[in-house]
Chain A
């Protein structure tokens, strides 16, 4: 298979095209601009639509419209822009409209900075918009996963009729790595719910998130919760590297997992027993495997580029069966390999009494 060097953002954009995405609506913001730039050039070549909207709010509502009409539709932004899109995301979750939303996260709160951050974990996994809804959230750990997970994201969005989010960051987006691109897929899934005309039916399809009668809204929510339960049961993905014989399991995703991997490879040369558990889905979270590792007596270190967000899910998963320690970097800074190495070493030298 031929490998080509691509920036993560471009790999994701090409991956989306090859997965049959034919609609992109967005508004510029650093550090995700390579995605719309790439789409502006590439979409016309495949007969798709690229449209730069007048705002993020407008872009997400174009996504709502195109998704409702059955299109494979993508939008991307970075943290402040994703905040602006949350109303539309909630509406699509309520109306069960499939789409993929990419957040190439940067530091916050507010306008924040342009540097990479993982401080949008809560927003991505716990709601972000209003209402009792869930997104399937993927966290790519390299450029190849940018390609692979965007394709998977479209398939899952349509399978569950649910918005799917890719939570990336400035480093994942700007870094170049070799990728193997899949062949172009022509995707025309049957979407009997989409607003594409009555096709002989007596009633039109309606895309709506309104449940004005209380019982209707309850029924809608029960249906959504049943769907989320299926997603939680079937869609968990993670990478476990050397966790079986580890004394300490480091939990990290995306960019911080890369730094952790470097630190761990140094520590293993020194015969330290340390493993990596990298969530690939942030929702559903790999709760079960963490519970099992905790039951087996492992201790945990959570490394994030935030003040501690995913660590709450690790603590919930471990549920007092073992000790969880946190190491974070505040918005916009990336831990060095040495910092993580030192932290792991000192935890391991504390021994198992934890």
Chain B
């Protein structure tokens, strides 16, 4: 079983982080994983994406050309990657920033108003975790608890007070996908 995922968005939306958390969570579950970033020289505002592979086998190519799962945090990212998603795959997108409603035969699509939900949770920056939660709800790629453990290890100690907020955002997204 191999799960190939692309996370894409504007720089600053936290797509690299959610990709790393997916890979980290997979590793904590004993899987073989890779994370590979692709971005321009910009720190904020440019487009960024990363490829994540989670597998029972040693991972070959770390670059995902035909994802099983796509997380798209903005319109340009959805437009760029949606057609590559494999039949039977999943797209979770940030409907706060995407006006079109994508339709792809054989692909499960989930709209998450990430910006609004983040605001409801009290922190505009947490939209990425809401979308990740929804992705986990749909795909069960890794367990939410594995992501929470990964957060303990990825975040520096001075940021650990934010873990409950991140957990709440993950749960919020997860429940949307389950609904």
Assess whether B36 is in contact with A262, with CB atoms less than 8 Å apart.
Answer: no
Chain B window 13-24, contacts with chain A (Cβ cutoff 8 Å), 1 for yes, 0 for no:
000000010011
Assess whether B23 is in contact with A5, with CB atoms less than 8 Å apart.
Answer: yes
From A142, A176, A258, A334, B23 is in contact (CB under 8 Å) with: A176
Interchain nearest-CB distance for A257 vs B (Å):
9
From A177, A178, A337, B61 is in contact (CB under 8 Å) with: A337
B34 at interface (Cβ–Cβ under 8 A)?
Answer: yes
B63 at interface (Cβ–Cβ under 8 A)?
Answer: yes
Chain A window 261-284, contacts with chain B (Cβ cutoff 8 Å), 1 for yes, 0 for no:
111110000000000000000000
Chain A at the B interface: SS class: helix
Chain A window 293-314, contacts with chain B (Cβ cutoff 8 Å), 1 for yes, 0 for no:
0000000000000000000000
A175 at interface (Cβ–Cβ under 8 A)?
Answer: yes
Q: How many residues of B contact A (CB 8 A)?
A: 19
Interchain nearest-CB distance for B167 vs A (Å):
20
Chain B residues with CB below 8 A from A264, complex form: 60
Which A residue sits closest to B154, measured CB to CB? A5
A-B CB pair tally, cutoff 8 Å: 56
How far, in whole Å, are A334 and B23 apart by their CA atoms in the complex?
22
Interchain nearest-CB distance for B46 vs A (Å):
14
Assess whether A175 is in contact with B36, with CB atoms less than 8 Å apart.
Answer: yes
Assess whether B65 is in contact with A176, with CB atoms less than 8 Å apart.
Answer: no
Taking residues whose C-beta sits less than 8 angstroms from the other chain, chain A's interface range is 20 to 34
Assess whether A258 is in contact with B65, with CB atoms less than 8 Å apart.
Answer: no
How far, in whole Å, are A225 and B59 apart by their CA atoms in the complex?
39
A3 at interface (Cβ–Cβ under 8 A)?
Answer: yes
Assess whether A337 is in contact with B27, with CB atoms less than 8 Å apart.
Answer: no
Chain B residues with CB below 8 A from A178, complex form: 27, 32-33
How far, in whole Å, are A261 and B130 apart by their CA atoms in the complex?
35
A5-B23, A5-B24, A5-B27 given as contacts; is B61 within 8 A of A175 (CB)? no
Which B residue sits closest to A5, measured CB to CB? B24
**Interface residues in B30-67 (C-beta closer than 8 Å to A):** 32-37, 57-63, 65-66
A5-B27, A259-B60, A262-B60 given as contacts; is B36 within 8 A of A171 (CB)? yes
Could you tell me which A residues sit within 8 Å of B by CB distance?
3, 5, 142, 171, 174-178, 258-265, 334, 336-338
26 contacts across the A-B interface (CB closer than 8 A): A5-B20, A5-B24, A5-B27, A5-B35, A142-B58, A171-B63, A174-B36, A175-B34, A175-B36, A175-B62, A176-B36, A177-B33, A178-B32, A258-B59, A258-B60, A258-B61, A258-B62, A260-B60, A261-B58, A261-B61, A263-B60, A265-B60, A336-B63, A337-B60, A337-B65, A338-B65
